[in-house]
Structures are given as structure tokens and as C-alpha cells.
Amino acid sequence: MRRYDAVLFDLLTALIDSWSLWNRIAGSEDAGRAWRGEYLKLTYGCGAYRPYETLVAEAAVASGLPATHAKALEDEWLSLEPWEDARPLLRRLRQDYKLGVVTNCSERLGRFAAMRMEVPFDVVVTSERAGFYKPRPQPYALALQELALPASRVLFVCGSAFDLFGTAQVGMATLWHNRVGLNKPADAPAPLKESRTLEPMVSEHVA
């Protein structure tokens, strides 16, 4: 018997290399990491939804970049590229599992990013539609509701360790695709497994 009936992913870090786009707009990896770090602080501390684009602009200013970088990021949004093993993995999983994403993003940009995967998702939950940013439990709970599955039958794959707080609240087992070598907050629950690569780790846990 399969352990899970569905697999949910964080979209912009677990499936898509959004880091490269932020770095390119910022002008360097260091500047991009600083900008992204400020953005993560804002979204994970925000709770109730505020416009994603506003938070991205505020994060730019907080990291010493012009607020106009948020518009530049939006203009380049459709150039987002998945990690190289993401699309083949989703195509295989699609044969046996329901698939979905839960992402801290506006509805419009979240839908555009999901389209970049070129695989149909059963569920696309954005923080705008859920009314809250992760790791508040509402986005994860909405995805479970729309899948019509209990948390015990759904595997979550995060790209940021902050997701571990939220998935623990709703009871979802979670893998951490830590592609860029982020540090886990000291008080975050442990993932089932952490890996720099996506496909082998997920395949091992859905087999």
C-alpha cells in the first residue's frame, strides 16, 4: 500500500530556481540573498496576507536596493526556470499521485509560476487566496481541503525550512529540498529528510 495519495510542493524554492532570478535582478548573489532574506522575514512574520509585490518592494529597500526592483522581478517572472530534476519528477508522480503547490505569492504570479512546470496540478494554493502567508497553517489546510485528503496521506516537499513550522501544525510529513544550503532555524521541527537534490529524495519516500 502506498504511504501517500498526494504530494504537495513549495513552488518557488522546492520546484523552481527563483534564487537565480532574484540574484540577477539584484546584480549579484550576495545582494540577491540579502534581498530574499529580508523578503522571507516579512512574509514569514506577516501572517495575514498583504500584497506580495508590496512585501518584495519593502524587502528591496530594507536590503539597500531600490523599491523598483520589485517591478523588475515581476517583469522577468515568466523567465523562472524549474530545477532540472523537477519536471521529470512531476511527470512520473502525476501517474500515481495527486499533485499540488502551496506558495507564498500573489494569485496571479503564483499561477504564472505554476504554469512554468508544464505539468497540471490538482491544487494551486497561494497565500493571497488562503488569506495568510506560510507558515501559518491556513494555506496548508486549504490545500488539504481541496485535495479532500487527511494530512496523514499527503507528503509535503519544502524548499525553505520555515515551512516545517506550518506543516507540523497540520500534521504533514515533510521533506526539505535544501538546494541552496540554507540554515534551518534552531527551533524548527526536523524534516523526514534533507537533501540538495529533489528527485532521489522524493522518489525514496513515495516508493
CA gap 37, 183 in Å, rounded = 12
Domain residue extents for the chain: 6-17+80-206, 18-78
From the list 152, 73, 140, the residue with the least C-alpha distance to 103 is: 140
Confidence at residue 47, expressed as pLDDT on a 0 to 100 scale: 80
Distance from C-alpha of 195 to C-alpha of 108, rounded to nearest angstrom: 30
Cβ atoms of 15 and 83 closer than 8 Å: yes
d(CA 57, CA 71): 8
Q: Residue 47 has which C-alpha cell? A: 501572517
- Report CA-CA distances (Å) from 102 to 34, 69, 72, 93, 110: 24, 24, 24, 17, 9
So what CATH class is 6-17+80-206? alpha beta
Per-residue pLDDT for the chain (207 aa), expressed as one digit of tens each?
Answer: 789 999 999 999 999 999 999 999 999 999 999 999 999 889 888 889 999 999 999 999 999 999 999 999 999 999 999 999 999 999 999 999 999 999 999 999 999 999 999 999 999 999 999 999 999 999 999 999 999 999 999 999 999 999 999 999 999 999 999 999 989 988 999 999 999 999 999 999 997
Backbone angles phi, psi at 49, to 5 degrees: -65, 130
Rounded Cα–Cα distance for residues 46 and 193 (Å): 27
CA dihedral of residues 138, 131, 193, 185 (deg, nearest 10): -100
162, 160, 170, 155: which is closest to 89 by C-alpha?
A: 155
d(CA 81, CA 85): 11
**pLDDT (0 to 100) of residue 45:** 83
What is the chain's length?
207
The predicted model scores a pTM of: 0.96
